[in-house]
Structure 1
Amino acid sequence: MYPFIEREPGYVVAKFPNLIEAKVVSRPNRFMVKAMVDDKEVDVHIHDPGRLEELIFPGNSILIRETNGTKTHYSVTFCKNDDIWTFNDSRYHSGIASMFIQEGWQREVKVGNSRLDFRLNNAYIEVKSATLVENGIARFPDAPTLRGKKHLETLMDLIASGYESFVLFLIFNENAKCFLPNTARDPEFSHAYYSTLEHGVKFQYLVFSSSGGEIVLKDSISMCNP
């Protein structure tokens, strides 16, 4: 069965009111950004495992929101990327993905030594996200990901066992026109990606735009021509 719901462009998946604009000072570790808000330096949690070198650098603008963390009181929500904003909080990815999956799904399903995001009847679905776009090409990952490679291998094993396997890419950069794996940054994941295509794993790529604190479905794209 085809597990996805076809939504019309303009479908709103999330809204974030009361955002605060800040400037990046530094990123001391993968979970923390130091930023300036009204001439005051604050610690901001960032819930995005990517390197984000094109987004988190000194002087770049970010939009943050107040949160009740144990170590910080703010969270990065959007990052300025030239003339657009990208959404950078992976805690919301599963919820957004669920809006595009038919009813009856199970979340966080254990398969062997892996855990996949969704199961719907005979179909397993893994969700990935991307913000990196180069010359209109969405790229994933932006850093090596053994976990991502393992997920693809699990999906191939499920195909061999008679199940259906899908990957849903959420691309939070409205400039994306097509998708390719990021061979330069993670050749092993890229090799696994092309292997999954040969094994029958199916991919869905959804592009979202971000403006005024809203995240909106823009388009569905496909893999770039070789």
Structure 2
Amino acid sequence: MFLPFQDTLYKATFLERVNRFILLCEKTDSNERITVHLQDPGRLLDLLIPGNTIYVSYHNEVHRKTKWTAELVTKPNTSILVSLRSTLPNKLIRNALQTKAIEELAFLEYRKQEYTYGGSRWDFLLQANHNPYLLEVKSVTMEMDGVGYFPDAPTKRGTKHVRELTEIQLSGHYQTGVLFVCQREDIRMVKPCHWIDPTFTEALHLAQNSGVEIRAVSCKLTLEGIYLGNVIPVEVSM
């Protein structure tokens, strides 16, 4: 399955990360220095390296402080593209769920996106036969030796979500699941990043043991859009 980009991409060079959500870049075609919004709050230490190639989109909207958004970055010294847009996986997975493009999730019927239940808003409400199913999507951008790691920065929000999914699972009212979406093509397996966030790792391990379904899918990025790949293993054991 393919999801095309709607915006024109402009090639630039990454110069500096000003803060968590702001980058300083230089456009390749004009050498203009631009301030770029970064959606991904992760550390991205292996990607945001000065001199690395980055692709940005332009948005001339009155309410925006920055007119540029970071879209893609190259893995250093390769042609592999990595998505920096944290909302992209949800769009891709929504389409995949609606069209049953993921064979392992084809038993689920799509019901709603951004469904509020308990103390949180969940990415997707699905249904398996007559049983409701809550699915939370997590974006993976960190890779080492072919393994994708999540998170690449401590995530209290992510831990809260996993713990709540565990409680909901144990209540018997909903089946629950976590889907890791790898926003790059060079990941063959996903693991929790225990040395960055041991609390999340422990929560994910408990979730799996409690019946929360943990899955991951690979993707491939081009300058035209994102391709959904295959389901890949998730190794949760501590």
TM-score, reference length from structure 2: 0.85
Aligned: 1:101 with 2:132 = no
Residue in 2 that maps onto 1:168? 179
Q: 2:22 aligns with which of 25, 29, 32?
A: 32
- Give the letter aligned to residue 51 of structure 1: R
Q: In structure 1, what is the Cα distance between the partners aligned to 2:178 and 2:236?
A: 19
Would the aligned equivalents of 1:132 and 1:173 in 2 still touch at CA under 8 Å?
no
- Give the letter aligned to residue 221 of structure 1: I
Shift of 1:57: 2.4
Aligned: 1:54 with 2:46 = yes
Structure 1 unmatched runs, 5+: 1-10
**CA spacing shift, 1:225–1:164, aligned 2, 3 Å:** closer
Structure with bigger RCO (C-alpha 8 Å, 6+ apart): 1
Would the aligned equivalents of 2:215 and 2:234 in 1 still touch at CA under 8 Å?
no
Would the aligned equivalents of 1:97 and 1:168 in 2 still touch at CA under 8 Å?
no
Q: 1:149 aligns with which of 150, 159, 177?
A: 159
Would the aligned equivalents of 2:9 and 2:223 in 1 still touch at CA under 8 Å?
no
112-121 vs 131-140, greater mean Cα deviation = 112-121
CA RMSD in angstroms, aligned pairs only: 1.6
Q: After the TM superposition, which residues 58-137 of structure 1 pair with which residues of structure 2 at under 5 Å, given as runs?
A: 58-69=50-61, 70-82=64-76, 83=78, 84-102=80-98, 103-121=109-127, 122-137=132-147
- Give the letter aligned to residue 73 of structure 1: K
SS of the residue 1:101 aligns to: helix
1:57-91 superposed Cα distances (whole Å, 9 cap, x missing partner): 21111011111351111111101113111011112
SS of the residue 1:183 aligns to: coil
Q: In structure 1, what is the Cα distance between the partners aligned to 2:113 and 2:229?
A: 25
Shift of 1:16: 4.8
107-116 vs 123-132, greater mean Cα deviation = 107-116
Shift of 1:187: 0.4
% identity of equivalent residues: 31
**CA spacing shift, 1:225–1:142, aligned 2, 3 Å:** closer
Would the aligned equivalents of 1:114 and 1:150 in 2 still touch at CA under 8 Å?
no
Residue in 1 that maps onto 2:188? 177
**CA spacing shift, 1:87–1:180, aligned 2, 3 Å:** same
SS of the residue 2:195 aligns to: coil
Q: In structure 1, what is the Cα distance between the partners aligned to 2:7 and 2:177?
A: 33
Residue in 2 that maps onto 1:188? 199
Would the aligned equivalents of 1:180 and 1:224 in 2 still touch at CA under 8 Å?
yes
Q: In structure 2, what is the Cα distance between the partners aligned to 1:104 and 1:171?
A: 21
- Give the letter aligned to residue 73 of structure 2: C
109-118 vs 165-174, greater mean Cα deviation = 109-118
Residue in 2 that maps onto 1:158? 168
Q: In structure 1, what is the Cα distance between the partners aligned to 2:157 and 2:8?
A: 35
SS of the residue 1:90 aligns to: coil
Shift of 1:225: 8.7
Would the aligned equivalents of 2:10 and 2:56 in 1 still touch at CA under 8 Å?
yes
- Give the letter aligned to residue 158 of structure 1: I
| Superposition misfits of 4+ residues, deviation over 3 angstroms | none
Shift of 1:137: 0.7
Q: In structure 2, what is the Cα distance between the partners aligned to 1:112 and 1:212?
A: 39
